[in-house]
Copies of this chain bind each other. A is one copy, B any other.
Amino acid sequence: MNRTIPNGKSHASSALPAAVAGLQQVPQLIPAHPTSAGGKALPPSKMKKPPADKDSEEYRQRRERNNLAVKKSRMRSKQKALDTQQRVNELKEENERLEAKIKLLSKELSVLKDLFLEHAHNLADNVQPPAGAGGSSPAPNSTSANGQ
């Protein structure tokens, strides 16, 4: 007699489209309608669930739909992860760029500041009160005075 139910999934390896020859039945003694079986009425709605009408036409269809959705969802998920990873790389690069720029600006600033200092010193050295008096013999000047 028939056999072995292809296990449900059994997708041997890669291709398993309509390979399933005879698959069906399940010793499930399901009393059609658990709800309408005994003397119970079914007013609002509250039954467990007909587990799953296997081998049902509509069942198979829903499964297939879901399988598709699942595949789609997973693809997205994977892609998103990839994108995120790439984002990390981009941000890292950007960071390096920014740090380089900072380094450069800092250097420029430092140079300008040094110029200022030097100039200030020159002024102090060459200071010559417009009106005669006062100390007027400043040191010839000083070079390479660096403060910070």
Contacts and interface: CB of A to CB of B under 8 A. Distances in A.
Contact of A109 (B10, B84, B92, B112): B112
A: contact size bracket: 35 or more
A51 B11 CA distance: 11
A1 B88 CA distance: 59
A7 B22 contact: no
- Copy count, this protein chain: 2
A10 to B, nearest CB: 8
A25 B10 CA distance: 14
Contact of A102 (B88, B98, B116): B98
Interface string A123-144: 0000000000000000000000
A46 interface: no
A118 to B, nearest CB: 12
A8 B25 CA distance: 14
Interface string A1-37: 1111101111010000000001001111000000000
Contact of A25 (B3, B51, B95, B112): B3
Given A3-B3, A119-B119, 15 more contacts: A1-B1, A1-B3, A5-B7, A7-B8, A8-B10, A84-B88, A88-B91, A91-B91, A91-B92, A91-B95, A94-B95, A98-B98, A101-B148, A108-B109, A112-B112
